[in-house]
Amino acid sequence: MVTAVAHTNIALIKYWGKRDANLIIPYTGSLSLTLDQFYTETSVNFDQNLDRDEVSIDDQSAANNSWQRVHDFLEIVREKSGAHLNAKVVSRNHVPTAAGLASSASAFAALAAAASKAAGMNLNNQELSRLARRGSGSACRSIFGGFVEWQRGTDDADSYAVPIDTPHLSDIRVVALTIEKHQKPISSRRGMALSVTTSPYYPTWVKVVESDLQSIKSAINQDDFTRFGTISELNAMRMHALTLSSDPDFLYFNGSTLDAMNEVKRLRHSGIECYYTIDAGPNVKVICQTKNVKEITTTFSKLFGPDKVIVAQPGPGIKYL
Ligand code: PMV
């Protein structure tokens, strides 16, 4: 039995749209920060006594659709490794209960690491990143700690994440506001497909991400938090503009999302520097530096309640237990 731990990541330059839905090759690169607070621990054991894959998630037998996704992923591992046995998978998400942050990124990164090793493969991190990508695109970034870039590539061999090794912006903090724990009504998979095929702005998004990626990497290089935060917030809003311009249109924000966004702007205008980013759901992550964490958590604790505010810092890459 092999056990692996992977942390979740938050994209600052978003991945939104697949060029190849089967291999999960994106139209654009993306850039993320791995977070220390949220992680998945997964054990895998290939066992000749099983007549089908067994999957338990958070101490419950996996629902049909989750079982199918894990099974499909294990099929890829069996095909690559030559292993043919069924597997027992036990996965636990260490995400504060109210968080609504349960992440396919940490889940598939941990599964890729545990399953490949249990099947006798000895993959390096680049190969692991490629494998994790097949489960969920953003999972390829959770193989590494700190800042990570997913280089979009053009096929299975060259689409993987690489760590950005830098001492810069190390006092960055992400204040996660866990506004809503319910599942998103439109999965990122379905949302991306809609935006790619129906948003008239999609071709512009592809171009703009290229320049957003260059800008954020040079901001990291120059240790420039203001540029870093500004471009992160802009890029998130550009992604959400794709949902609004799809046919049919859809929106991941709710009223509290807008309240949080306004509060971030108010704080910023009052001299507390912070920026927001939002994924495929209503929860808001506030990007800031250590010096402002106290003021920001106090403000949002008053607005949403202290149990809804979680402070994260840069987290580590994949680990085996
Ligand atoms: O990896 P997926 O299919 O869950 O897609 C992730 C999409 C976003 O979280 C919205 C953006 C990103 O780059 O993580």
Q: Are residues 279 and 200 in the same domain?
A: yes
SS3 158: coil
pLDDT at res. 179: 86
Q: Are residues 215 and 140 in the same domain?
A: no
Q: Which residues contact 52 (CB under 8 A, 6 or more apart)?
A: 86
What residue owns the CA closest to ligand 1's atom 6?
138
Q: Are residues 61 and 16 in the same domain?
A: yes
Q: Is the CB of 161 under 6 A from ligand 1?
A: no
Position 82 in a domain: yes
Q: Are residues 14 and 155 in the same domain?
A: yes
Q: Are residues 154 and 202 in the same domain?
A: no
Q: Is the CB of 104 under 6 A from ligand 1?
A: yes
Q: Are residues 67 and 146 in the same domain?
A: yes
Q: Is the CB of 30 under 6 A from ligand 1?
A: yes
Domain that holds residue 290: 172-312
Q: Are residues 139 and 71 in the same domain?
A: yes
Q: Is the CB of 279 under 6 A from ligand 1?
A: yes
Q: Is the CB of 103 under 6 A from ligand 1?
A: no
Which atom of ligand 1 is the closest one to the Cα of 136? 1
Q: Are residues 299 and 180 in the same domain?
A: yes
pLDDT surpassing 60 at residue 100: no
Q: In the chain, what is the straight-line distance between the N-terminal and C-terminal CA atoms, in Å?
A: 10
Q: Are residues 121 and 40 in the same domain?
A: yes
CATH number for the domain harbouring residue 39 = 3.30.230.10
Q: Are residues 234 and 152 in the same domain?
A: no
Q: Which of 154, 72, 152 is nearest to 112 (CA)?
A: 72
What residue owns the CA closest to ligand 1's atom 10?
279
Q: Is the CB of 15 under 6 A from ligand 1?
A: yes
Binned at pLDDT 50, 70 and 90, residue 233 comes out as very high
Establish whether this prediction's ipTM goes over 0.95.
yes
Position 287 in a domain: yes
Over the range 291-320, which residues count as b (16 or more CB within 10 Å of their CB) and which as e? Answer: ebbeebbebbeeebeeebbbbbebbebbee
- Give the residue from 140, 167, 194 where a domain finishes: 167
The domain tally of the chain equals: 2
Query: Could you tell me the distance, in angstroms and rounded to a whole number, from the CA of residue 47 to the centre of ligand 1?
Result: 32
Position 318 in a domain: no
Name the percent of the chain lying above pLDDT 90: 93
pLDDT digits (tens, 9 = 90+) for 255-288: 999 999 999 999 999 999 999 999 999 999 999 9
Q: Is the CB of 281 under 6 A from ligand 1?
A: no
Which atom of ligand 1 is the closest one to the Cα of 138? 1
Q: Are residues 159 and 178 in the same domain?
A: no
Query: Could you tell me the distance, in angstroms and rounded to a whole number, from the CA of residue 49 to the centre of ligand 1?
Result: 36
pLDDT digits (tens, 9 = 90+) for 168-193: 999 999 999 998 877 668 989 999 99
Position 321 in a domain: no
- Give the residue from 167, 183, 203 where a domain finishes: 167
CATH number for the domain harbouring residue 295 = 3.30.70.890
SS3 125: helix
Q: Are residues 215 and 135 in the same domain?
A: no
pLDDT surpassing 60 at residue 300: yes
- Give the residue from 167, 183, 201 where a domain finishes: 167
Mutating to test ligand 1, I would choose from 23, 40, 104, 138 the residue with most ligand atoms within 8 A of its C-beta, which is: 138
